[in-house]
Structure 1
Amino acid sequence: MSKKVHEFNDIIRKLRKDLFGKGPERIQTIFVEKMAVSTLYGNLTPTEKFIASTPEGVAMVHAARTRMIQEVYSKATPEGMEELMGAKLVHLFSDIKIEEDMAVSVFIFDQNID
């Protein structure tokens, strides 16, 4: 793993730990042209896992997680991310599969980052 990927993953982990009280256990990121694609494993807190034990709970945790991430990134780019990438973050697409405790985020920048 390159130093740049490692530092990028650390930024994502810190933001999610600060936001949810637990960061992902493992992150895999690839850089492709203007995009950083991150797959995050082991995201859910014990409380979220308990809530997600019913279909209604799964929907609730999914909605809360995706909305919170989108809201946080729409207000401000995480500290150090744009400096590290040498580009401005213009879009974030993010989703989580509650049953597998796996999330994917696609970060799109204003210029090539790879």
Structure 2
Amino acid sequence: MGKKEARFNEIVRRVRQQYFGKGPEKIKTYFVENIAISIIEGNLTPTERFIAQTPEGEEMVHRARTKMIQQIYAQKVPEGMEETVGARFLYLFSDIKVKEDIAVSVFVFDRKIDDSEDEYPEEEGM
């Protein structure tokens, strides 16, 4: 995992921890052009898992999770996110499969994500 991906994942984890009381167990992010796609596993709290045992409860958890995370990002861009990718945040598209406890978030930025960061920089003078 590159440094940029690790920093981005930590920002996503921090936001979810702050607002939902539990951070995800696993995050994998892919940068493509001007988007970041994060696959997020292990999202639900024990209370959400309990509520989701019925179809009505599952729908309620789904709605709450997707609407709330979109509102959070619409109100305020998380600290360090734009600096990490070198672009301005525009939109978030998000969904969750409650039974599988896996979410996908697609972050859209105003330009191609800065890929100039080298994971293994060359030594000076080479």
TM-score (normalizing by structure 2): 0.89
Q: How far apart, in 2, do the equivalents of 1:80 and 1:15 lie?
A: 11
- 1:15 aligns to what? 15
- 2:94 aligns to what? 94
- 2:62 aligns to what? 62
Superposed displacement of residue 18, structure 1: 0.4
Matched, 1:32 2:36: no
Partner secondary structure for residue 4 of structure 2 = helix
Superposed displacement of residue 54, structure 1: 0.3
AA matched with 1:47? T
Superposed displacement of residue 50, structure 1: 0.1
Superposed displacement of residue 30, structure 1: 0.4
Superposed displacement of residue 52, structure 1: 0.2
Q: Tell me, which stretches of 5 or more residues in structure 1 are unaligned?
A: none
Where does 1:45-84 land on structure 2 (aligned, <5 Å)? 45-84=45-84
RMSD over aligned CA atoms reads 0.6
Partner secondary structure for residue 22 of structure 2 = coil
The higher radius of gyration belongs to 2
Q: Which 4+ runs in 1 deviate beyond 2 A?
A: none
Partner secondary structure for residue 105 of structure 2 = strand
Work out the number of aligned pairs and report it. Answer: 114
Q: List per-residue Cα deviations over 1:6-35 (Å, max 9, x = no partner).
A: 000000000000000001100010000000
Q: Tell me, which stretches of 5 or more residues in structure 2 are unaligned?
A: 116-126
Structure richer in helix, relative to its length: 1
Q: List per-residue Cα deviations over 1:46-85 (Å, max 9, x = no partner).
A: 0000000000000000000011001101101111100111
Q: How far apart, in 2, do the equivalents of 1:85 and 1:28 lie?
A: 15
TM-score (normalizing by structure 1): 0.98
